[in-house]
Structure 1
């Protein structure tokens, strides 16, 4: 089994020293890579900027990228051949229209940046997903969590979506623990109570393998 797995944030440059980004560390995605390997899979881990070291397993090929465009390009190279897609990265929705060559100097009381949408990696690849391929997305929400996650699952052609709520203490970015809710297209829900991200990863991989079509 070949798994395509995205992890970490993306950084969208503004000038040579500044960028748009988020607080994702990549811990959940990297834990998932290790959990898949423990079940005998080979993993292509496409990682945005992260302080985590590359996983040591020879069955994990780590590809380091910075921007959403770079992450999409690398994911597109392997998506067709992968059996399972897991989009755990926190990809920036927007990027600056123009990246300034020199450092922007402080001037005036305000600074306006014009932003343009990034490619939606999961949605774009989801348009080409074959029936035997299995796709899993992640959603980090702060309000109307279940409704937003269910909408994202259908729009992006996911088989499962993993919902994080920033309202849950000890879950989300920066923690070694996580608490998630998994939804499928039928609205069935599986809850994972607060535990280490390694334990959550093992539980998610077991669930993914159990839900894959018998012909996969």
Structure 2
């Protein structure tokens, strides 16, 4: 049984920490909770004690066991520490080495892997000092659970919401599954240069209308994070998505709109890349002419002429030298047959296929069900799982194969 130490600081999102404790406990983790004095203005120790069935720690100087120093022993006890929510104040204290309460004293006295889930007003989050403090902590090895966008307690609709408890649970499960690779330098991806494409492209018809698809970009972003965690230097070429931009030090993000822009961005980096994950859902066609003014409604039917966009995966296959090429095939029928055909036509090393006709997986869903088809005819079914977990499974399968 893995042991989680949950540190809760004083923000309105502290109520989510109760749900997180419940989800972690139900998933089989042993959970112990620490609360700052300010956190107790929002939630009570009794709520966490009832759910975790463990004591709750609130005072550095209240030693439950005289045989040990509590804030040192707790850090040693845990397999992972989660700070959720993490206020701007706590982040600032931690980045400056201040230890003036139970949580900061514990964090300063431990070498246990620590995850930080910021939650605050968008202006506090974007403040240069907060960004600097988070950058310092990232460089020190702390892992961040990036806040999402949505309605904030202050009334803004913006970035600053604490990551959802279910997503934190998924991240922890991925971490523990990857632990032998993530925490050591022997990953075959360490020091390598990876390129990942993600999301849809937008092909403009006029200033109002465009052609696109339902791709969310989630698997491409998950792959980028997983590669960076294993030591790769990642270039993420992303079409328009609603996802928070990765802030991992090992990830460079290039934002694009159209298939042509994505093609040019990929070409500019390709020679220096060791492995490519072509996960973006690129439009196959674009209007032959993009109008500069809005196309007005007319009587009768409308005919629009389209032209082919660059076939990025085919280009990469034709021009690869040392690169290892991983493509994706989103199909609605004949999944295996089309994946095998794509392997040959695109000169890829691997095609990862999934059935987007299944409404329970794919595109906007958090889940998918992938099968990896290798050029040597090996096939690996990864099964249905979250995209975060599938990203780890894909890299696990490639660890000893791609080189």
Same fold (TM over 0.5): yes
Distance in 2 of aligned mates of 1:173 and 1:11? 16
Please say if 1:25 is aligned against 2:216. yes
**Partner SS for 1:211:** coil
| Coordinate RMSD, CA, aligned | 1.0
Match of 2:265 among 64, 69, 74: 74
Distance in 1 of aligned mates of 2:324 and 2:394? 13
Aligned to 2:342: 152
- Cα deviation for residue 116 of structure 1 reads 0.3
The structure showing larger relative contact order (alpha-carbon pairs under 8 Å, at least 6 residues apart) is: 1
Q: Which moved more, 1:73-82 or 1:203-212?
A: 203-212
- Cα deviation for residue 177 of structure 1 reads 0.8
Distance in 2 of aligned mates of 1:11 and 1:141? 20
The size of the alignment, in residue pairs, is 212
Cα deviation per residue 1:58-116 (whole Å; 9 max; x = unaligned)?
11000000000000000001111000011000000000000011001110121111000
Aligned to 2:324: 134
Aligned to 2:358: 168
Cα deviation per residue 1:148-183 (whole Å; 9 max; x = unaligned)?
111111111111110010243522110001111100
Q: Which moved more, 1:167-176 or 1:40-49?
A: 167-176
- Cα deviation for residue 128 of structure 1 reads 1.1
Distance in 2 of aligned mates of 1:168 and 1:199? 19
| Runs (5+) with no aligned partner, structure 2 | 1-191
Distance in 2 of aligned mates of 1:13 and 1:176? 28
Asked whether the equivalents of residues 141 and 164 of structure 1 are also in contact (C-alpha less than 8 Å), the reply is yes
Distance in 2 of aligned mates of 1:96 and 1:162? 29
Structure with larger Rg: 2
What is the TM-score with the length of structure 2 in the denominator?
A: 0.52
Aligned to 1:4: 195
Matches within 5 A, 1:61-210: 61-130=252-321, 132-210=322-400
| Runs (5+) with no aligned partner, structure 1 | none
Asked whether the equivalents of residues 170 and 179 of structure 1 are also in contact (C-alpha less than 8 Å), the reply is no
What is the TM-score with the length of structure 1 in the denominator?
A: 0.96
Name whichever structure is richer in helix by fraction. Answer: 2
